Structure 1
Amino acid sequence: MKNNKLSYSTVALVLSSALASTSVLADSHVTDKAEAVSNKAEQTVERSGDKLDKAANTAGQFIDDSVITTKVKAELLSNDAIASGDISVDTEQGVVTLSGFVDNQKTALHAVELTENIEGVQSVEDKLNVKGDNEQSLKEYADDAMITSAVKAKLLTDTSVPSLAISVETQDGVVQLTGEVESEEQSTQAENIVKGMDDVKSVKNDLKVKS
């Protein structure tokens, strides 16, 4: 009888130890799982935060570029020595591109210098074209204006190119395209459209592809 009591006590002790071990393992498993869930949640929050920061930076950059473009146009417009109506301004990440036509190289350099001194401008890309030594006749000027209007209208009819994002300038039948497009295909398509038009002598494709 005494041996049986001892056996029962031994069995009870073994069962108690087994249950305790199982409880510890269960607690450890639950703790590990909870930590894994917590880590995953933290990583998700961090990724979401990064995306929000990136979106905010992109929006801020767009606003800054728009402000810079406005400042440059205002500065050029206020300068009597520059025919700013023939100059297009485009800004991307603080880099300002000047395109269009000026009377001489001195005017082009002056426009670039004015732009470089504007707050927020990182650098200036000079894509200005100098007009010929002789002034265009009224007829030639009118012809170029008509070509410009015709090109803009033609681009508007083609849905495969972002026509509103493309600036058009014409000098002696030479059409210059500036602005931003989504892909090289759009740039090539816009150039081919203009090349196939009447009275267009050649096309200077200065379109940028968005990065």
Structure 2
Amino acid sequence: MVLIVTFAAIGFLIDAMGFKEALDTHWVDAEIRGQGVRGDALFVLVGGVFIAIGLPRQAVCFLAGYAFGFAEGLVWASLASLAGCVTAFFYARFMGRDFVTARFPDRIRRIDAFLAGNTLSMTLLMRLLPVGSNLLTNLAAGVSGVLALPFFVGSLLGYLPQTVVFALLGSGISVDPVFRIGASVVLFVASGVIGVWLFRRYRHGRHLDSATEAALDETGDDDPEQAR
């Protein structure tokens, strides 16, 4: 409840101070483009805060492509995504870990068991899946006992396919728009399919929450032996 209330308070504060519309093309044109290092740092800072409180990461990636072009936008969008992940993770770890682990030990054990053994690769698989919430994943990992660095590296790598997709969509480089949109759709679908296939093949008894498991099982044969 503390986590929920404080994140809600941050959201109301952003709305009250007029920051709700901050991440749009007008703001990018006025504050980011042509501002050099200041603009780069401001984009990463604001984008990271917005991602940390649960706003769509894809929108930040799209605007990075719009502001900086594809290649540079990919870099700054990735850094903003990582900043949002790190912020939410440590917020949950410092604010809610003791409280949650004392009251929901079984659920925390399930998260730890899913990520155990190779946190980096299992986080990568989880990030590639086309279902689930980025914010809830960050908070759940924060209150669990997983190591921070492998989780961050796995997240950064797992974010990459969608970051490429939306930075490409937002970029204004001299690429035919039909090709750009078509390539983005193909990459988006391909990353989701690969994520589901890898998860079903390598989860080996690891389980996420029931809603995510049900969504993933609808994507293919429910035979657990075949899934492995």
Range class of TM-score, shorter chain: under 0.3
Q: TM-score, normalised by structure 2?
A: 0.25
Q: Which has the larger radius of gyration?
A: 1
Higher strand fraction: Structure 1 or Structure 2?
A: 1
Higher helix fraction: Structure 1 or Structure 2?
A: 2
Q: TM-score, normalised by structure 1?
A: 0.27
